Structure 1
Amino acid sequence: MDKKIIKELAEDAEDKNVFIPDISIVIEGLLLDLVNEKKISGTIIIHNAIIDELEYAANRKQTTAIFGIEEIEEVKELEKKDKIMLEFEGEKKPYSRLRIQRLSELNAIVRNLAMLKNATLVTADEVQNVIAKSLGIKTLFISLKKELEHLSIEKFFDENTMSVHLREDSTPKAKKGKPGEWVFEEIKKERLTSEDIEKYAKEIVEKAKLDKNSFVEIERGGSTIIQYRNYRIVITRPPLSDGWEITCVRPVKVMTMKEYNLNEKLYERLRESAEGILVAGAPGNGKSTFCQALATFYFEENKVVKTIESPRDLILPPEITQYSKNIATNEELHDILLLSRPDYTIIDEIRNVQDFELFKDLRLAGTGMVGVIHATNPIDAIQRFVGKIELGMVPSVIDTVIFIEKGQVGQVLELSMTVKVPTGMTEEDLSRPIVEVRDFYTNDLEYEMYTFGEQTVVVPIKKMKKIMTVSPARNIAKTAIEERIRQELPRDTPLKIEMPSDNSIILYIPNYEIAKVIGKSGKNIEKLEKKIGVKIDVRELAKNETLMEDAKKENKESIDYKSIFDKKNTSFIFNNSYAAKSIDFFVDNEFLFTATVSKKGEIKVSNKSDLGQKLIRAKNTDRKITLLLSEGE
């Protein structure tokens, strides 16, 4: 634009109070307050690029943008009352969709307009304020960070309240009590409207941005997560949820390690040797509360402690750095922690594959790790790592599991690696690497974890000794060999497995399949024996003619089932207690085949197979189909 025109416009504006707010003033919800407090008056010019930015963000369902648009609407209402003049100027220009570049370009556009109009630039952005002043632009800087009064939502809390739940068209509710003994109750009779929830949400967002001890952790389309002092607040809205909802959670009590009354033996382990710790328990039982105490304990032991949280809601000493998973990538956190070398890193909590990988990598690099993980019992916490890391690495990554129940430390497990014959087996040549899981206080062997064939198995030793008459190794071997054999035979081939001892199996298959299973010079069967770890005696299925009679002698009762014959499959539905069990199928006392029940409690047979045709013929001719538990089950 011609310099003469600019000069004339500037001179024309000298006698007017002209204020131009930037994006920081609008999205922080400060514009209306500044007008009401008479800090700005006269003419307010909002650049159209700000409207464009708000529209873009609002279409992505970002709360701050929605509230920013509502803020402008309220200021527009003041214009109708002749309190101010509101104008919109400037071109809507296409600019970068990368947020940091977009805001930089937007700030420059607004500065240029303020310079052109010889107006006062109103900003809450410190960098914007410095740049504008250096360019000779008049500014009104609004400092955001100051202590504020309490949130309105805090009125719903008392000393026993852990969380408050507000939802449109519902009465306010709260969860009260103590870990493991929560009660969900109504706290007011009046139903909340969507306007009520929006009002609470707007106040929370605005005050979180103004309070120096608070921050907006995550803002996505449909949800906003805020840490307001010691409150973790989740706001959801349509279309993500079917209505506005606010969930506000706070710790009922901040505990110290002394308050847990731990055994001195456990204290010593935590100080001296525990470096791969899982803190496990069901939701609401106090896992994060314990981790707060543990982090402070390590800090007081002169350890360097850092945390990775999502969101950052642990209440910790200021010397402990808290990183957010929502701001940084796992790769960035990995690099930061490897370079800064803390003594302990606490991950609250381990949820996805990336979290498991981060925990493993940092632990194997020598960092002491503490991970919070949801589990209904201690062994479940360990099993969540199985399959994500090699079994032999598990004790190097996890050495201690602390189970939290009703706010107190329950069972503590320790892990170690050894080489031995699994419990229940007898042959020395079956020895293998085994992860032993022992009760930390009694040293009793609770579980053994090892590979058998292609399976990784977790065997409950105490329970097995009490209730099992058949070695678990036999059942594991039977399942493993059956799955392996079925992979090498045509689909639905009849077969039968018996296991007379821990290290031998009798395999019954049709005569026409025997040669294939044994292989030239016995190579196939030798290879399979080495892989499974047991001897295999292959016999013809036709010779196994007394299966039904043997079952009767053993007083085996037939299994209840529901059969479904459809166009593609014949399905047998069982009670869930039969999952992973082997079932023998008989038609009029004649053995037909053996199959394993799936995790969903069913066995399916294709109608196109020979076995499927036999089952269909049996049904159509009213022949009796009997199902019995297989040998050894």
Structure 2
Amino acid sequence: MKYAVDTSVVISGRISRMLESGEIKGTIIIPEAVIAELEAQANFGKMTGFQGLSEVEKIVKFAQDRGFEVIFAGERPKLEHIRLAKGGEIDNLIREVAAEFDAVLITSDRVQHLVARAKGINTIYVRPKVIKPEETKIMSFFTPDTASVHLREGVPPYAKRGKIGDLKLVKLGDRPMSYEELNEIASEILEAARQDEDSSIEIERRGATVVQLRELRIAIAERPFADRMEITAVRPIAQVSIDEYGVSEELKRRIVERQRGILIAGPPGAGKSTFAASVANYLLKNGYVVKTMESPRDLMVSDEITQYAPLEGDMSLTSDILLLVRPDYTIYDELRRTSDFQVFSDMRLAGVGMIGVTHATRAVDAIQRMIGRVELGMIPQVVDTVVFIEAGKIVKVYELSFTVKVPTGMLEADLARPVIEVRDFETKKLEFEIYTYGEQIVVMPIESDEKLKAALEEKIGRYIDDFEVELAGRKAVVKVPERAISTLIGRKGKRIKTIEEELQLSIDVVPKEMSGEFDAEVEETGKHYVIQAKGLEGKTVDVYAGEEYLFTALVSRKGWIRIRKDKEGGKSLRLALAKGQPIKLRVIG
């Protein structure tokens, strides 16, 4: 008996099993069209190609061991066959081989089976083995609190378990996993994804495959993309409502009052996509038509929300369709490449409410990722709200606005320019300004007055001890004793200029008004008493012995008062010193 096989049944691995069980016996004919198709898939890095070629190798080896014949026959597909492959030209080449050898065609392709039977070709239809997603081996690694499973060739299996923000890496066994085990698990995942209506193969590249198996997002990496085979399966461990995030009523109103541009940002695994799904469901309940753009499609949203993948691998084509569908809001998960931000921007400027998910370590970093990808002046029109998620909680919300003003820290009116203001949504406090300075784009943090004053005091304190600081916006007045002004300013003003540049401040240094009472030391020379008054140079002071007024004097430029012993003031001072009374100075002008 002669049997011809097609690509579908070879990829499934059923022929080797049928030969081993004795279900079929005789010559196996493998059309060159099948080999060409498997070779092309393997060259493109698709797992199906490698699985099929491995099955061919098994069939040949089995034939050698059992003593039956394997024939490679037929025509290799030409360019016109490849162009018309979707119309069934390559399948026709396979049928022609079966007819030429009067062989029974074995296939798992229902259309191939029906066409062959219609043409009078004997055929066996091998129904694909039904693999339910919940019965796949990958699911055996998951427990209710498992967020992700990590399988790697030559390494024991690991999993991340716990709650969002408190996930721990747990070892699931001591035995390292082999390539054969991982390949079997991967084949099972792919077959289950093909059969299940709620699953799909999202990305298939050379050495990398991404599968959405129900709620599992599975990434399969092989050589040459990875040094060893690896399977990573991620599952959302929480499906929460927007209220569970503690979203304020003001933020809810901001989302639903009109279509907006919102960025949901945070580090990997922070719960961004989970929050985006909760916002999508909330908008749906408030009467908005909501769609999603995802690659892969893994958001856990209501059935009423359609989830779109890249059309022909291109999100810009998906956006063209969505603009015809006219949704009120679109969730874009996630923004990574420049093309993603451009599609997001185009849809937002077309009037569609957009909610984008992007990776960022700080809330402001999400805005910075748009710089250079979206024209600076258009950013507040594209994104007016940034929600930063960390460990499953909202830790920061920014609102963006556009104005023309002199940036904080600049004083001259002719320096006015367009400025993007980034304010804390709850307190309305200005935290960042974004503007152009020369050819550069500056993202300038606006420090609080307390922090800025403390930083200024710390820097001034390196040079002098006696000073006062008054701060108003980005302008500071520093009052110091006259003797210390030159010390603070530095040679040719370099010291104070350095401080201004480091803190982005304008600093005025002025003499400190001296007032109050000061203790004084008295020294004695041959004919004079010398009262030390450092810091009071040029000031007029009253001299007291305890609470008793003695006399009034002018402090010299050198910071002392000299009085003759034989004068009235000198005599009064000598008597006070003899009594041990403290000498004090009171500034009067």
Q: Distance in 1 between matches of 2:72 and 2:96?
A: 15
Shift of 1:267: 1.4
Partner of 1:549 in structure 2? Answer: 491
Whether the 8 Å contact between 1:414 and 1:440 is mirrored in structure 2 is yes
1:54 alignment partner in structure 2 = 38
Counterpart of 2:397, as a letter, is V
User: Alpha carbons of 1:470 and 1:178: their partners in 2 closer, same or farther (altered >3 Å)?
Assistant: closer
Distance in 1, Cα, partners of 2:366 & 2:61: 57
Aligned to 1:227: 212
Q: Which residue of structure 2 aligns with residue 63 of structure 1?
A: 47
Equivalent residue for 2:58?
A: 74
Summarize the alignment of residues 158-557 of structure 1 with structure 2, pairs less than 5 Å apart: 158-325=143-310, 327-463=312-448, 466-467=451-452, 549-550=491-492
Q: Does the 8 Å CA contact 2:311/2:317 hold for their aligned counterparts?
A: no
Q: Distance in 1 between matches of 2:495 and 2:416?
A: 35
Cα offset, 1:381, TM superposition: 0.5
| TM-score normalised according to structure 1 size | 0.67
With over 3 angstroms needed to count, the CA separation of the structure-2 counterparts of 1:44 and 1:174, relative to structure 1, is: same
SS in 1 for 2:304: coil
Tell me, what secondary structure is at the counterpart of 2:374?
coil
User: In structure 2, what is the Cα distance between the partners aligned to 1:110 and 1:164?
Assistant: 41
Q: What letter matches 1:424 in structure 2?
A: G
C-alpha distance 140-352 of structure 1, shift in aligned 2 (>3 A): same
**3-state SS in 1 of match to 2:156:** coil
- State whether structure 2 residue 100 is matched by structure 1 residue 116: yes
1:306/1:52 Cα in 2 relative to 1: closer, same or farther (>3 Å)?
same
Query: 3-state SS of the aligned residue for 1:171?
Result: strand
Q: What are the superposed Cα offsets for residues 383-423 of structure 1, whole Å, 9 maximum, x if unpaired?
A: 11122222221111001111111111221111122233333
The two structures have a TM-score, normalised by structure 2, of: 0.72
Over the residues paired in the alignment, what is the CA RMSD in angstroms? 3.5
Task: Map Cα deviations across residues 183-221 of structure 1 (whole Å, 9 max, x no partner).
Answer: 223221112222332232222223322333322222222
Give secondary structure in 2 for the equivalent of 1:198: helix
Tell whether the 8 Å contact from 2:311 to 2:318 is kept in structure 1 after alignment.
no
User: Structure 1, residues 336-390: CA drift from partner, whole Å, max 9, x if none?
Assistant: 1222211111111111110111000010011111111111111110111122222
Match of 2:511 in 1: none
Specify which of 89, 99, 119 is matched with residue 135 of structure 1. Answer: 119
Q: 1:60 to 1:344 in 2, by over 3 A?
A: same
Contact 2:291 2:331 in 1 (8 A): yes
1:322 Cα deviation after fit: 1.9
Q: 1:548 to 1:302 in 2, by over 3 A?
A: closer
Query: SS at the partner of 1:54?
Result: helix
Q: Contact 1:132/1:139 (CA < 8 Å) preserved in 2?
A: yes
- 2:361 alignment partner, SS class: coil
Distance in 2 (alpha carbons) for counterparts of 1:100 and 1:180: 51
Partner secondary structure for residue 204 of structure 2:
strand
Q: 1:327 to 1:31 in 2, by over 3 A?
A: farther
Moved more, 456-465 or 81-90: 81-90
Structure 1 Cα separation of the partners of residues 428 and 497 of structure 2? 40
Q: Is the 8 A contact 2:82 2:89 kept in 1?
A: no
Q: Call closer, same or farther: CA 1:440–1:24 in 2, change over 3 Å.
A: same
Is the CA contact 2:158–2:172 (under 8 Å) kept in the aligned structure 1? yes
Gap change, CA 1:556 and 1:204, over 3 Å in 2: closer
Distance change in 2, residues 1:401/1:127 (3 Å):
same
CA–CA distance in 2 between the matches of 1:21 and 1:263? 63
Deviation at 1:62, TM superposition (A): 2.3
Q: Which residue in 1 is equivalent to 2:4?
A: 20
Q: Which deviates the most, 135-144 or 373-382?
A: 135-144
Aligned partners of 2:202 and 2:83: how far apart in 1? 16
CA distance in 2, matches of 1:141, 1:463: 75
Q: 1:441 to 1:135 in 2, by over 3 A?
A: same
Is this contact kept in 2: 1:279–1:404, CA < 8 A?
Answer: yes
Residue by residue, what CA displacement relative to the aligned partner does 1:489-548 show, whole Å, maximum 9, x if unpaired?
Answer: xxxxxxxxxxxxx99xxxxxxxxxxxxxxxxxxxxxxxxxxxxxxxxxxxxxxxxxxx98
Deviations 1:234-268 (A, max 9, x none): 11122222111111111112222232232111111
Counterparts of 2:228 and 2:131, CA distance in 1: 32
SS in 2 for 1:128: helix
Q: Shift in Å at residue 333 of structure 1?
A: 1.6
**Structure-2 change in CA distance of 1:338 and 1:34 (3 Å):** farther
Q: Deviations over 1:411-454 (max 9, x none)?
A: 11111222333333444443333222121122222222222333
CA distance in structure 1 between the aligned counterparts of 2:36 and 2:401, rounded to whole angstroms:
60
Deviation at 1:100, TM superposition (A): 6.1
CA distance in 1, matches of 2:286, 2:104: 54
Contact 2:293 2:309 in 1 (8 A): yes
CA distance in 2, matches of 1:266, 1:145: 50
TM-aligned CA deviation for residue 48 of structure 1: 2.2
Q: How far apart, in 1, do the equivalents of 2:9 and 2:425 lie?
A: 57
Letter in 2 for 1:125: D
% of aligned pairs identical? 43
Q: How far apart, CA to CA, are the structure 1 residues paired with 2:45 and 2:497?
A: 66
- Partners of 2:225 and 2:87 lie apart in 1 by 27
1:331 is displaced (CA, Å) by: 3.2
Q: Is the 8 A contact 2:290 2:328 kept in 1?
A: yes
Larger Rg: 2
Instruction: Determine if contact 2:295/2:310 at 8 Å carries over to the other structure.
Output: yes
Which AA in structure 2 matches 1:158? Answer: T
Aligned 8 A contact 1:282 1:405 in 2: yes
Within a 5 Å distance, the mapping from 1:143-158 to structure 2 comes to 144=128, 146=130, 148=132, 150-158=135-143
Query: d(CA) in 1 for partners of 2:101 and 2:415?
Result: 87
1:104 to 88, 106, 118: 88
Alpha-carbon spacing, 1:270–1:328, altered in 2? closer, same or farther (3 Å)? same
Structure 1 contact 280–401 (Cα < 8 Å) conserved:
yes
Structure 2 counterpart of 1:189, one-letter code: D
Task: Name structure 1 gaps, 5 residues minimum.
Answer: 1-15, 472-501, 504-546, 558-576, 581-633
Determine helix, strand or coil for the equivalent of 1:462: coil
SS in 2 for 1:315: coil
Instruction: Give 1:109 shift.
Output: 0.2
**In terms of mean alpha carbon deviation, does 119-128 or 36-45 score higher?**
36-45
In structure 2, C-alpha distance between the alignment counterparts of 1:320 and 1:41, rounded to whole Å? 52
Shift of 1:102: 7.6
